[in-house]
Amino acid sequence: MTRYVVEVINVGNELLDGRTVNTNLHWVCGRLSQMGYTVSRATVVRDRLKDITAALAEAIKRRPGWVFVSGGLGPTHDDKTLQAVAKALGKPLMLYEDVVEVLKQRYLMLAQQGVINDPTLTKERLKMARLPMGSKPLRNPAGAAPGILAEKNSVRVVCLPGVPRELMAIFDNEVAPILQKEARGRGFIVESLTVEGVVESKLAPLLVETMKRFPRVYLKSNPKGVEGGVVVVVDFIADKRHRAQLEDALKYFKQSLEKTGKWSR
């Protein structure tokens, strides 16, 4: 198991039908990278119990430090993530009375605000309080469904709602402090260099040579189609502990380009 390696599982028919852009994946990966974690794999599955269960079970077998699951925590018939997580963990679902109380206050508030007419905790609403036994509820300040933090075989599993503002709120308030503490100052920095007038294939040898000289720095080229000529943006990526080597790699790359008469900024 690698404690700084993460897998992400996104749940939702809408993601695979092309009806919704998967902004949650983009945001979560960005936040994890900032804190020094590497996302090794991302999986998107439909709202099917067996698919969600299988995806999580397979992820746990690969022994990353963390698995983040988003979507499927709500009160409707197609919200099946909690049931799937319970199966993958080998735990029963149980009613968490503290979550019931939070839901009760939430729906009373919505009724008082005129958002809903009836604050009764129906079986659909109570569904959000049935969590895998032993898991820790994560407070949702932006909505009803709580997130959860669970663990199996030293792999921590975090489940977050699919609604972006709720996912972000729980991540930043409940999960990020844990991640930051364990990261111990890790984090990635990225510097970008724009190269004009050179096709990507011509840059390839210089990319390899630079990474050989500066092994702590990873280079990624991104060709951009623009009018008036060829443009390639080269990202220089390194752990922030190796900032000096990143700066040396950037300087070497620029000087090598200048020798060929090409221009960068």
Q: Where is the domain boundary, 164, 183, 202?
A: 183
pLDDT of residue 263: 60
Same domain, 61 and 178: yes
- 226 with 195, same domain: the answer is yes
Distances (CA, A) of 185 to 35, 36, 101, 200: 8, 8, 37, 34
Would you state the pLDDT for residue 122?
Answer: 96
Checking if the pLDDT of 227 tops 60, the result is no
- Same domain (yes/no): 173, 193: no
Give this prediction's pTM.
Answer: 0.86
172 and 202 fall within a common domain: no
- Amino acid found at 100: V
Identity of the amino acid at 101? E
Domain match, 174 and 228 both: no
- Kindly report the CA angle at 177 between 171 and 181, in degrees rounded to 5? 140
Output the average pLDDT for the chain. 94
CATH code: domain of residue 7:
3.40.980.10
Pick the range with the lowest mean pLDDT from 35-49, 136-150, 184-198, 201-215.
184-198
Considering only residues 186 and 19, tell me which one the structure prediction assigns the higher pLDDT. Answer: 19
Predicted local distance difference test score (pLDDT) of residue 121: 96
Query: What is the predicted pLDDT for the residue at 229?
Result: 73
Residue 143: pLDDT over 80: yes
Which of 153, 152, 145, 173 minimizes the C-alpha distance to 82?
Answer: 145
Residues 251 and 175 in one domain: no
The stretch 201-207 carries a mean pLDDT of: 93
pLDDT of residue 196: 87
Query: What's the CA gap between 196 and 100, in Å, rounded?
Result: 59
Specify the pairing of strand 2-11 against strand 38-45. parallel
Mode of pairing for the β-strands spanning 136-138 and 147-152: antiparallel
Q: Which two tokens stand for residue 182?
A: 């364990």
Shared domain check, 236 and 199: yes
pLDDT score at 162: 97
Q: How confident is the model at residue 130 (pLDDT cuts 50, 70, 90)?
A: very high
Domain count, the chain: 2
Question: Residue 221 belongs to a domain with what CATH number?
Answer: 3.30.70.100
Question: Do 196 and 101 fall within a single domain?
Answer: no
Domain boundary among 183, 218, 248: 183
pLDDT in tens, 76-110: 999 999 999 999 999 999 999 999 999 999 999 99
Q: Which domain holds residue 225?
A: 188-264
